[in-house]
Chains A and B, each alone.
Chain A
């Protein structure tokens, strides 16, 4: 079975600083990987996803993520954080069985300092 680990429960960055959120997955084959963002009182919104091909994936809101098979990682990055990026971020993995069963990490809460 697949699993996801987000090592950082909470991260604080200053507005304008760069951001990297870590995600490590466990799965035997090539996984399908996702990053979602959840603002307070809202549902989850997909930022980006990776299935195959170019290992650097561009998403919405200026986010990108890089799939590194050798490190079993799919870290999310943004070069310059805005105050509106403060939210909770979830990494998820799916096995590609088309059963609709994505496994989510525990999430990382991002605080942005002015």
Chain B
């Protein structure tokens, strides 16, 4: 596969469930990102990783827990979510953590919290 892939594409979970979102990039990039895209709200940066180290945690609630085991994989672990966490979660990667580098986005995981 090429580019940035995300699994699952759709996820429905209850507020007491624990689930994980997976992102994989096949581009040899060193920086990876999690974004949240809610209806009628601008894209929100959640987490940034560079060379597997977290460099940004944008005031995200602790019920979201990221993990970056290597530069190709990024996870978002979810637990005790709220209905307002329902959104499209997008993963992206870039060559390095430079504003001039193009970010390549995956197709997203559509999350619904019941």
Residue numbers of A with Cβ under 8 A of B are 4, 32, 36, 41-46, 49, 51, 90, 92, 94-107
Contacts and interface: CB of A to CB of B under 8 A. Distances in A.
Interface residues of B, number: 27
Nearest to A42: B107
Given A99-B48, A99-B97, A105 B103 contact: no
A94 B104 CA distance: 16
Nearest to B99: A94
B18 to A, nearest CB: 25
B45 A102 contact: yes
User: 5 nearest interchain CB pairs?
Assistant: A43-B105, A94-B99, A104-B43, A100-B48, A44-B105
Interface of B: 4, 31, 33, 40-43, 45, 48, 50, 55-56, 58, 90, 92, 94, 97-100, 102-108
Contacts of A102: 45, 99, 103
A44 B90 contact: yes
B90 to A, nearest CB: 5
A45 B105 CA distance: 7
B42 A104 contact: yes
Contacts of A36: 105
A66 B97 CA distance: 26
A100 B33 contact: yes
